[in-house]
Structure 1
Amino acid sequence: MPDERLTDLSSDEPPAEFSAPQKALWWLQKGGLRLGPEWERAHMICQEAEGEKAHDWVHALCHLIEGDLGNAAYWFRRAQQPSGATDPKEVWEQIAASYG
């Protein structure tokens, strides 16, 4: 079960105590798992710590949402996570559950 605050989108910003990957997940959820300003914010967060598995996993999700499956597969490998999923909602839920 994911941290309930990941789906509480009533605020304009994610909780300050969230880790950077949690903030990126929150932004992706806030943007409806679609491209847009929230996606841009999440992607920037992920790029700030490339090479850290938690960031790389959310980075893979960003590129899955973008529709760039090759780039998504690269980041899934970097995060040491399976890359077969193509449903962003399913991947978001898997990542969110890791913060349960």
Structure 2
Amino acid sequence: MIDAIDFKQSIMNRQLPEGLALHLQALWYDGTGDWKTAHDLIDQLTDKAAAHVHAYLHRKEGDLWNADYWYNRAGQPSTQVSLEEEWENLVVLYSQ
């Protein structure tokens, strides 16, 4: 496991930590500004955590209809927090 502080530091250092679950890898790439790689990593996964990250990515993209679809698949309500806060919450949630 990795804590949120080390996770953010790895983004600043541009060094993807070894052994990260795909959910966190997607968030890591998104944190570096590489939305496409983040989406490609999460797109084919079917678990609720992947759907949650997928929802965030589509919300960030501005595709709110698609984001709502993925929030529903994740069993999560749509959120009104900032994108930065949602990203942070997802990192904390899925790094535990």
2:17 maps to 15
Counterpart amino acid of residue 56 in structure 1: A
**Runs of 4+ in structure 1 over 4 Å off:** none
Write 1 or 2 for the structure with the bigger share of helix. 2
SS in 2 for 1:84: coil
- CA shift for structure 1 position 88: 1.3
1:62 maps to 57
TM-score, with length taken from structure 2: 0.84
CA distance in 2, matches of 1:5, 1:52: 25
Q: Deviations over 1:21-59 (max 9, x none)?
A: 00001111111xxxxxx100000011121x211111110
Counterpart amino acid of residue 73 in structure 1: D
Gapped regions of structure 1 (runs ≥ 5): 32-37
> What is the number of equivalent residue pairs in this alignment?
91
- CA shift for structure 1 position 87: 2.2
Do the aligned residues in 2 keep the contact of 1:6 with 1:25 (CA within 8 Å)?
Answer: no
Say whether 1:29 aligns with 2:25.
no
Gapped regions of structure 2 (runs ≥ 5): none
CA distance in 1, matches of 2:36, 2:6: 21
CA distance in 2, matches of 1:46, 1:28: 11
Q: Please report the RMSD computed on the Cα atoms of aligned residues, expressed in angstroms.
A: 1.5
